[in-house]
Amino acid sequence: MQTVTNLCRKVGFIREIKRMSLNSVHTKTRTGFVDGGKYSQGRPSYTEEAVSYIANLLIDGKLSGPGKGNVSYDVVELGAGTGKFTEKIITKLPQDIKYLATEPMDGFLGTLKDLCPSVDTKQCTANNIPLPENSVRNVIAAQCFHWFASVESLSEISRVLVPGGRFVMIWNNKDWSVPWVKDFEVILSNYYTSDTPRAINRTWKTVIENFPGFLCKEHTFKTGIDFQGNKDFVVSHFCTISVIASLPDDEKEAVRQKMYKILDSHEETREKDIIKIPFETEIYHSVKA
């Protein structure tokens, strides 16, 4: 009986920790990033150029960092989502690199585990990383730092990084100046609130550059991913954006119909069987001060 009681207490404790951790996740993340399968199908991957660039940084960080006895992981990925970046980067890294992919959302974590079964995973948020101080050589965040750009998260990232450890961020950013994409933005803007993080606003950049624990090494832009498909493909992609994915089904369908009308109204998309969604890759590389 005592064993059962202790087990129940342990399960209850784990559930409470998980609940407290998810409470720090933005509402749009909790409601919009639920279906890992749909998200993974509708989102772009990353260019070979960008992945190779980051892989070289991570490998250099492993070689130049402290001895193995001081390190739990060579790389910790925060907000790994469904593993879009994870599956690409691990093919570029030596097999002996210790890699941990973390993700707070259940639905995404399950897809991540299926996609990258050989990678260690943990469910956690960026402001509560379950690792010792000075135990990680590199931290990376792909398409997600804007969601947790805060002093609290940066303090936690700094805590687990070794002195001189790297924090590298990458985004696939759309070119919102393209006329039909700009019209899609008009729709999206109706659903963004003032407290909904967006990478393109670069509020995240202000946060990290005002944080004394990190120094920027490089902020660069590279050719974006070639991401294209038919009209259904384009609309499905935009519907994976959190503010749309979190809508009730009837409202989401209304948004979808508005998007189809936009595609039918622009000469460059009206008669096209294949439509290219314009992207640019943004990389921000910093080091622990």
Q: What is the pLDDT of residues 182-224, one digit of tens each?
A: 999 999 999 998 888 999 999 999 999 999 999 999 999 999 9
Residue 282, SS3? strand
For the whole model, what pTM was predicted? Answer: 0.85
pLDDT at 95 over 50: yes
Query: For 33-42, 269-278, 279-288, which range has the lowest pLDDT when averaged over its residues?
Result: 33-42
- Look at residue 269 in the predicted model and tell me its pLDDT: 97
Task: Please tell me the predicted confidence (pLDDT) of residue 68.
Answer: 54
Cα gap 200→181, rounded to integer Å:
14
Q: Where are the beta strands (DSSP E) in 56-213?
A: 73-78, 99-102, 120-122, 136-142, 161-174
Question: Which is it for strands 120-122 and 227-229: parallel, antiparallel or unpaired?
Answer: unpaired
Question: Binning pLDDT at 50, 70 and 90, where does residue 114 land?
Answer: very high
Residue range 30-50: average pLDDT?
71
Six token digits for residue 151: 């002093």
Superfamily of 2-288 according to CATH: Vaccinia Virus protein VP39 (3.40.50.150)
